[in-house]
Amino acid sequence: MPIKVPAGLPALQAVIDEGNAVETFEVSTARTLRIALLNIMPMKETTEADFIRLFSETGEEVEFTLMKLDTHTPKHATPEHMNRYYKGFSQLKGEHFDGLIITGAPIEKIEFEEVSYWPELCSIFEWAKTNVTSTLFICWAAQAGLYRKFGIQKHLLPKKMFGIFPHIINTPAHPLFKGIGETLYVPHSRHTEILRSDVTACKEIELLSESEISGVYIMQEKGTLNFFITGHSEYALNTLDGEYKRDISKGLPIELPLNYYLNNNPANTPVNLWQHTARRMFGNWLKYFCKAQ
């Protein structure tokens, strides 16, 4: 189904150049889902392409709005790109969206209150309660949301959780997992974690999916359509490869991403274990939760 993005967005052409058949449209209809992406990842165009790639294959008609923070200036994106394709929270706060995705950010080791844009992010959390049907908090944003809403702390890992990990589904009948088998493979790339014991102790959270290795994965705030996701199901095939080789080139301590390269050899192409289920899961989110008006 078609997707509507800001005119001229380079990430759209990048997805098409990969060989993806992406149909676009200009005029929204009654069936169009309005999805906002608050993109606080450093490489803006990469993240834009990740979600365009997913949404273009879900079977839903999506109008994709790129949201930026008013109190933060990205270091890795040009002002021209941000001003042309993104709208600030102050510009969008009077609007309603069927779905909101808040991405992660490589600031896990910083205390939440020390993040320069923490007050604005908290305002967005509050705004979403009345202006968004369903919200996905991803990676660092999941940790931030759990902390802000329930006081759940993040904890530093002894080493980076890095690779593709199998996850069990605790609630197979949940609509988010419709058409997905018993096991989810998910990319993780983070230095901190949320403890399972803290999640299960909170009566306002339901733990939907988890891994023996990488821990809690998807949680839902009970009585709402809000989800906290600790991994990166949206990642492209070569994202972890780029992260690994970047850190190696900088001389940083990084281990080979687990369950990623064929025969665990970084000279080989990564094995695609997760993208088919990611497409299904994000499609289910759009169909069963963003439409739940």
pLDDT digits (tens, 9 = 90+) for 271-285: 999 999 999 999 999
DSSP states of 34-84: EEEEE--SSSHHHHHHHHHHHHTTSSS-EEEEEEE-TT---SSS-HHHHHH
pLDDT, averaged across the chain:
94
Q: How confident is the model at residue 24 (pLDDT cuts 50, 70, 90)?
A: confident
pLDDT attached to residue 59 = 80
Pairing between β-strand 33-38 and β-strand 205-211 as defined by DSSP bridges: unpaired
Choice among 14-28, 38-52, 75-89, 173-187 with the minimum mean pLDDT? 14-28
| Domain, as residue range, for 42 | 3-290
* Catalytic residue chosen out of the listed positions 206, 232, 243, 290: 232
191 catalytically annotated:
no
Q: By percentage, how much of the chain surpasses pLDDT 90?
A: 82
pLDDT attached to residue 29 = 76
pLDDT attached to residue 155 = 97
**What is the mean predicted confidence (pLDDT) over 80-87?**
95
Euclidean distance between CA atoms 197 and 188, whole angstroms: 20
List C-alpha distances in Å: 79 to 17, 42, 82, 83, 84. Answer: 25, 13, 5, 6, 8
Q: How confident is the model at residue 18 (pLDDT cuts 50, 70, 90)?
A: confident
pLDDT attached to residue 20 = 79
pLDDT attached to residue 206 = 98
Choice among 57-61, 63-67, 90-94 with the minimum mean pLDDT? 57-61
Higher pLDDT: 100 or 182? It is: 100
pLDDT attached to residue 57 = 83
pLDDT attached to residue 283 = 94
CATH number of the CATH domain containing 231: 3.40.50.880
pLDDT attached to residue 23 = 76
Query: Could you give the number of structural domains in the chain?
Result: 1
Euclidean distance between CA atoms 198 and 153, whole angstroms: 8
pLDDT attached to residue 181 = 87
pLDDT digits (tens, 9 = 90+) for 232-271: 999 999 999 999 999 999 998 889 999 999 999 999 999 9
Q: End-to-end CA distance of the chain, in Å? A: 21
234 catalytically annotated:
yes
pLDDT attached to residue 1 = 58
* Catalytic residue chosen out of the listed positions 63, 108, 139, 210: 139
Coil, helix or strand for 165? Answer: strand
Phi, psi for 172 (deg, rounded to 5): -60, -25
pLDDT attached to residue 279 = 93
232 catalytically annotated:
yes
pLDDT attached to residue 10 = 92
Q: How confident is the model at residue 184 (pLDDT cuts 50, 70, 90)?
A: very high
Q: Which two tokens stand for residue 22?
A: 């992406």
